[in-house]
Amino acid sequence: MIDLKLLQKNFDEVSAKLVRKGVDAKLLKKLKLKNEELKLAKIDFETLQAAQNTMSKEFGIYKREGKDVSELKERVDENKLRIVDALEIQRVRQEELEIIAMAIPNIPDDDVPDGADENDNVEIKKVLTPKEFSFTPKEHWELAEQNGWIDFERGVKLATSRFSVSFGMGAKLERALINFMLNFNSKRGFEEVSVPALVNRAALEGTGQLPKFEDDLYKIDGQELFLIPTAEVPVTNLYQDEILSAEELPKKMTAYTSCFRKEAGAAGRDTRGMIRQHQFHKVELVALSKPEESDKIFEEMVTCASDLLTALELPHRLMTLCTGDLGFGAAKTIDLEVWLPGQATYREISSVSNTRDFQARRAKIRYKDGKQNTLVHTLNGSSLAVGRTMVAIMENFQNEDGSIDIPKALQPYLGM
């Protein structure tokens, strides 16, 4: 959630920044107005309540002293009616405010470029040069089927479309990648954690998936539990509603989980292959930091993911997302896009975001800064998406006969 106090104090400035991200300025005006109204309603209620508390205390004293309370009771009863009204007004205003406030995205950083969509993202740099093929490189689904690594039909048979099954070397490679990535991240100082794949509503609200994006989540029937769309949700919320000590920060964690997404808005996109699946494996980086350290940690995370790709000999580029492509909770995001020779294009394989205090405010993650409690900054990033890494390996390491080489870094993990 955005900082309402900040919005109130520096309305023009904050509003201008949010308009860059496509938020309706009128909605922000309304939010400001609602916030002011709520404040008045609160003052109103609290004044009445203070009077009620005082009279109730008197009441007790009168009783003890055996005095007549009938006149006092009359006043108290009358005040009570006003309290009921005042409370109701406050409740309604609070609710209205929350509905608007929870749907406002994070304020983008000043250095985030303007833009409408992914076409306006700005390239930072390219790492490794794509190799020239003496033949026409195939797309990964063809290679996957030819080598017997992935069976798309049987995935559909077991579940529905956008599910797949890995066999033999395909399954082994998947497992090798997960281990390789976790070890790599651990060496960079990210502590490994293993977390539930189901989370409750509070966790999803904490990281911002709810209330706005419920349609993208798989929900357990009859229970307030959801399958996680990313490990970011359980890992960030580990410290929900806690006050950490300054010495504990930064907290750097890495987790492997399956991720589950309905891909409700993606009908017709990437229908073939394993670029966009309902269930996929991902190794995630999450960090909680002091505000002044989050830029540094952000760099570390981007570097970690990029170095991981380099270690796997996969050409890629770094892109700064423009305002229009920036996610709901992110103040800044750098995407890593890997080269896919079969498609002759770069495709997203990792997305690293600094949400600053946006999630921390919702999830109530603070740290003790001397006497003061301060919201931490939360960051998250994939390092990496496993399925897409498999895709990249298949397409970049293919030979003319359709066989696939294994990157050197992975060979020890496969007993080679």
Q: Report how far Cα 322 is from the mean position of its chain's Cα atoms.
A: 17
To RNA, the closest distance from the beta carbon of 59 in angstroms equals 3
Q: In what order do the strands lie in the sheet with 372-375?
A: 242-245, 365-369, 372-375
To RNA, the closest distance from the beta carbon of 179 in angstroms equals 31
- What span, in angstroms and rounded, lies between the C-alpha atoms of 305 and 319? 13
Pick 61 or 266: Cβ nearer RNA:
61
For residue 46, what are the contacts with CB-CB under 8 A and spacing of at least 6? none
Pick 69 or 156: Cβ nearer RNA:
69
Whether 348 is catalytic:
yes
Tokens of 97: 């405010």
Among 261, 347, 361, 362, the active-site one is 261
* AA identity, residue 118: E
Whether 317 is catalytic:
no
Among 351, 353, 382, 383, the active-site one is 351
Enumerate the β-bridge partners of residue 374.
367
Q: Is the peptide bond before 137 cis (omega within 30 degrees of 0)?
A: no
Among 276, 293, 313, 317, the active-site one is 276
Binding site for RNA (CB under 7 A): 5, 39, 42-43, 45-47, 49-50, 52-57, 59-60, 63, 73, 76-77, 80, 243, 366, 368, 373
Which DSSP category does 43 fall into? Answer: H
Is residue 260 within 8 A of residue 278, CB to CB? The reply is yes
Helix, strand, coil % over all residues of the chain, rounded to 5? 45, 20, 30
To RNA, the closest distance from the beta carbon of 51 in angstroms equals 8
- What span, in angstroms and rounded, lies between the C-alpha atoms of 309 and 408? 12
Among 118, 142, 293, 348, the active-site one is 348
For residue 147, what are the contacts with CB-CB under 8 A and spacing of at least 6? 169, 170, 402, 403, 404
CB atoms within 10 A of CB 292: 8
CA atoms within 13 A on the CB side of 403: 3
Whether 175 is catalytic:
no
So which residues are the catalytic ones?
261, 276, 348, 351, 388
